[in-house]
């Protein structure tokens, strides 16, 4: 391929007029980035190449997407875009004794990368020289920058705007159309009754009906009541509003939205959501301590940190000389700030052959058929991440010959070890409030979020998430009639509680607790930590034990009754994901992590949990649905005729009048509590001799 170097050390020189004429055909395609445009100048859309990589990074002057040397031709063929800004960072080791401060050397007065991108290299030992060029495809004409006098004004402005653009991964400002909440006029002078009401951290129920969702806590008297009913079948019976009309108590907070940062507060008098600047004090009146929740939101208190340091050193094998591992499958992922939940799940996911085949095996086809903006395509970003982890391209050991050459040339060519999944995290979490933040998250919730995206974005004929899929048989028995009902539901995770009562070192725990209290009273250092040792078999047993069914409606009695439910495996997965539920809520609303040690077996036999179906002598509950609950309409008694209701069954909910409603009872789905924090997640490969299908 022909290459001409213009104004940059080549044999040919071109006059300013000729340079302008060269760029004339491409001027309509060159754009200046505007506010809101994302400029990807630190990472390739298809790989983890960056300006630090050997081939640098090419940024399209029209789409502002970045591409490594292996992928730039694909974008050119697909879009026909010809003009790219080529960015390259050179890292040079400083000469001993040379003067220099903390700031790196800059070429062309432009430093287009944040120094954080080279956090592995000390600026006291290395200098960074950033080089920028315009490259015109398909002939690879290069124009060194800056060339203010020679380049057309549009090209100069666009190039400078690209070089100075901010990272696309910075948290954006809220949308301008989003209405800003105002402080309620009642917040400062709110009267709270001293009636002794204390609100538990769970188990809420409307005090006027049986609803357990969309519940609101009145901040004056502590009443827990349901919200208004919505035409899509959600919501409640409007008892919170009725209570306001009866009492005039104006403010209520929605249960389930209380976090250390605030809560959803509604003013019935002002008829809109509001801010309560004194929300912490108002909640504390009913036993909800938001301030302590903030201290303990990560499950650790200050006096817990020191013991954790020594444990971390043990885990990291501090003081032991370890041999670094390189190559395919040994590529690390950099922590982006509390992103260990994402890193752990994705490392586990791409250790599974089915996911390797689906994304890395189909990588050429996925990339070739990717949309014009591959940063917003799930399959492209999954293939990119899988290739980054499995190719070994970003986990290479330094060669001895390279080290000698670098010493002779006094030049450092850093090998990129590890990948930074910024683009992947930005895409997969863009519509999720929690995952898009830098707060600690729950690996189990992220795993289910990922599986949902995998199933919504099929890749080829194989659905890799099927390796986690299994059927759960639920046997529900009416305690009064003794009749049973068998149902099945799909699941991807086996959730196990911590069986604290099964601890094998209870005497040690009692002695430790006594010593801890004595040390705390005497203000001495706490004794050496003693954890409860829980056999995994005890947690597994809890999965199969009967549990009470709340608000059970017996079709045999056609009335509410006591019911119990047991669960079994109707089919087994190829890989079983197990979640140990270590977090709970105390009566003080503080999330607490159960500090336990669970002994995991090398082999797991769960054949005794195989579902058997309806047994001889068992009688099934009649297939009768519970009565339809139609909430009262506070605005009137208008209702739809049966014919109208029938016609609206398949209509989009937005088109149905709020006079036409049916309360639908759903059962068998997941209901993960909002307060679940980071929990243990691991994958077990199970060999099943007789798999149930």
CB 229 within 8 A of CB 240: no
Domain boundary among 248, 278, 295: 295
Residue 242 vs residue 150, higher pLDDT: 242
> 660 among the known binding-site residues?
no
User: Within a domain: residue 37?
Assistant: yes
Q: Are both 386 and 432 inside the same structural domain?
A: yes
CA distance 670 to 668: 7
Number of domains forming the structure of the chain: 4
Mean pLDDT is lowest, of 83-97, 349-363, 569-583, for: 83-97
Q: Are both 145 and 13 inside the same structural domain?
A: yes
Q: Are both 526 and 602 inside the same structural domain?
A: yes
> 71 among the known binding-site residues?
no
What is the per-residue pLDDT across 611-641, written as a single tens digit (0 to 9) for each? Answer: 999 999 999 999 988 887 665 554 444 444 4
pLDDT category of residue 651 using cuts at 50, 70 and 90? very low
CA distances from 510 to 507, 522, 693 (A): 5, 19, 47
- In this prediction, residues 520-532 reach a mean pLDDT of 85
What is the per-residue pLDDT across 474-519, written as a single tens digit (0 to 9) for each? Answer: 999 999 999 999 999 999 999 998 888 888 999 999 999 899 898 8
Domain boundary among 432, 459, 486: 459
Q: Please spell the DSSP secondary structure of 624-656, one letter per residue.
A: -PPPPB----TT------HHHHHHTTTS-GGGS
Residue 125 belongs to a domain with what CATH number? 3.30.40.10
Q: How far is CA 528 from the centre of its chain?
A: 35
User: Within a domain: residue 147?
Assistant: yes
> 239 among the known binding-site residues?
yes
Q: Are both 414 and 476 inside the same structural domain?
A: no
Q: Are both 533 and 582 inside the same structural domain?
A: yes
pLDDT category of residue 309 using cuts at 50, 70 and 90? low
Burial of 487-509, coded b for 16+ CB within 10 Å and e otherwise, reads eeeebbbbbbebbeebbeeeeee
pLDDT category of residue 118 using cuts at 50, 70 and 90? very low
> 60 among the known binding-site residues?
no
CA distance 399 to 211: 67
Q: Tell me, what's the pLDDT at 434?
A: 78
Q: Are both 332 and 437 inside the same structural domain?
A: yes
What is the per-residue pLDDT across 55-74, written as a single tens digit (0 to 9) for each? Answer: 999 999 999 999 999 999 99
User: Within a domain: residue 665?
Assistant: no
Q: What percent of the chain has pLDDT over 70?
A: 72
Mean pLDDT is lowest, of 113-117, 328-332, 657-661, for: 657-661
User: Within a domain: residue 105?
Assistant: yes
User: Within a domain: residue 580?
Assistant: yes
Q: Are both 259 and 139 inside the same structural domain?
A: no
Q: Are both 563 and 452 inside the same structural domain?
A: no
Residue 436 belongs to a domain with what CATH number? 3.90.70.10
Q: Tell me, what's the pLDDT at 61?
A: 97
Q: Which of 668, 46, 111, 32 is nearest to 368 (CA)?
A: 46
Q: What's the domain range around 436?
A: 327-459
pLDDT at 530 over 80: yes
- In this prediction, residues 639-646 reach a mean pLDDT of 46
First CA to last CA distance, the chain: 58
Domain boundary among 415, 431, 459: 459
Q: Are both 36 and 149 inside the same structural domain?
A: yes
Q: Are both 346 and 394 inside the same structural domain?
A: yes
Only one residue has tokens 């104006």, namely 250
Q: Tell me phi and psi for residue 584, to 5 degrees.
A: -145, 170
Q: Are both 489 and 444 inside the same structural domain?
A: no
User: Within a domain: residue 526?
Assistant: yes
User: Within a domain: residue 141?
Assistant: yes
User: Within a domain: residue 96?
Assistant: yes
- In this prediction, residues 20-44 reach a mean pLDDT of 91
CB 98 within 8 A of CB 137: no
Residue 654 vs residue 335, higher pLDDT: 335
Q: Are both 495 and 346 inside the same structural domain?
A: no
- In this prediction, residues 600-616 reach a mean pLDDT of 91
């Amino acid at each position: 391929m022909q290459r001409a170097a213009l104004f940059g050390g080549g044999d040919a020189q071109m006059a300013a007029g000729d340079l302008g004429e060269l760029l004339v055909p491409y001027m309509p395609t060159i754009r200046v980035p505007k506010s809101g445009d994302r400029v990807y100048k630190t990472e390739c859309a298809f790989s983890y190449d960056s300006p630090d990589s050997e081939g640098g990074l090419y940024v399209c002057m029209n789409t502002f997407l970045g591409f490594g040397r292996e992928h730039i031709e694909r974008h050119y063929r697909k879009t026909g875009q010809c003009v790219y800004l080529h960015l390259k960072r050179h890292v040079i080791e400083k000469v001993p004794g040379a003067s220099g401060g903390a700031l790196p050397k800059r070429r062309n007065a432009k430093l287009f990368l944040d120094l954080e991108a080279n956090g592995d290299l000390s600026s006291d030992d290395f200098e960074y020289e950033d080089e920028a060029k315009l490259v015109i495809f398909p002939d690879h004409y290069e124009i060194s920058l800056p060339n203010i006098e020679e380049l057309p004004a549009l090209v100069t402005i666009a190039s400078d705007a690209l070089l100075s653009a901010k990272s696309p991964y910075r948290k954006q400002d809220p949308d301008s159309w989003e209405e800003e909440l105002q402080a309620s006029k009642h917040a400062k002078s709110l009267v709270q009754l001293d009636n002794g009401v204390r609100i538990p951290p769970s188990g809420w129920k409307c005090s006027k009906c049986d609803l357990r969702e969309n519940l609101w806590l009145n901040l004056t008297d502590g009443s827990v009541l349901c919200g208004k009913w919505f035409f899509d079948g959600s919501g409640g019976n409007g008892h919170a509003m009725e209570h306001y009309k009866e009492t005039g108590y104006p403010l209520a907070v929605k249960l389930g939205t209380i976090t250390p940062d605030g809560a959803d507060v509604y003013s019935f008098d002002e008829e809109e959501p509001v801010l309560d600047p004194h929300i912490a004090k108002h909640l504390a009146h009913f036993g909800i301590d938001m301030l302590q929740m903030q201290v303990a939101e990560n499950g650790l208190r200050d006096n817990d940190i020191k013991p954790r340091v020594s444990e971390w050193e043990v885990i990291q094998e501090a003081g032991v000389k370890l041999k670094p591992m390189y190559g395919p499958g040994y590529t690390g992922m950099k922590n982006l700030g509390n992103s260990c939940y994402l890193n752990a799940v994705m490392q586990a996911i791409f250790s599974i052959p089915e996911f390797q085949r689906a994304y890395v095996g189909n990588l050429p086809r996925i990339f070739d058929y990717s949309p014009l903006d591959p940063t917003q395509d799930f399959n492209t970003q999954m293939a990119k991440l899988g290739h980054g982890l499995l190719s070994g391209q970003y986990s290479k050991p330094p060669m001895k010959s390279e080290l000698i050459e670098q010493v002779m040339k006094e030049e450092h060519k850093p090998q990129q070890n590890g990948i930074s999944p910024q683009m992947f995290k930005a895409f997969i979490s863009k519509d999720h409030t929690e995952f898009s933040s830098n707060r600690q998250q729950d690996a189990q919730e992220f795993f289910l979020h990922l599986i949902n995206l995998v199933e919504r974005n099929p890749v080829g004929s194989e659905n890799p998430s099927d390796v986690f899929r299994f059927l759960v048989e639920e046997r529900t028995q009416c305690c009064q009639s003794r009749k049973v009902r068998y149902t099945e539901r799909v699941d991807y995770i086996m959730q196990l509680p911590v069986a604290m009562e099964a601890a094998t070192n209870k005497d040690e725990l009692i002695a430790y607790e006594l010593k801890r209290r004595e040390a705390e009273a005497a203000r001495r250092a706490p004794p050496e930590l003693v954890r409860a040792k829980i056999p995994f078999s005890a947690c597994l047993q809890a999965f199969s034990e009967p549990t009470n069914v709340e608000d059970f409606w017996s079709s045999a009695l056609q009335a509410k009754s006591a019911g119990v439910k047991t669960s079994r495996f109707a089919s087994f997965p190829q890989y079983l994901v197990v979640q140990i539920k270590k977090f709970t809520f105390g009566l003080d609303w503080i999330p607490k992590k159960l500090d336990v040690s669970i002994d995991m077996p090398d082999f797991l036999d769960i054949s005794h949990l195989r579902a058997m179906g309806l047994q001889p002598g068992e009688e099934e509950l009649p297939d009768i649905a519970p009565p339809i609950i139609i909430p009262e309409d506070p605005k009137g008694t208008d209702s739809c005729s049966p014919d109208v209701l029938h016609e609206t069954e398949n209509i989009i909910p937005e088109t149905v009048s709020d006079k036409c409603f049916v309360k639908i009872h759903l059962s068998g789905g997941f209901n993960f509590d909002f307060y679940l924090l980071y929990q243990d997640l691991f994958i077990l490969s199970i060999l099943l001799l007789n798999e149930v299908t």
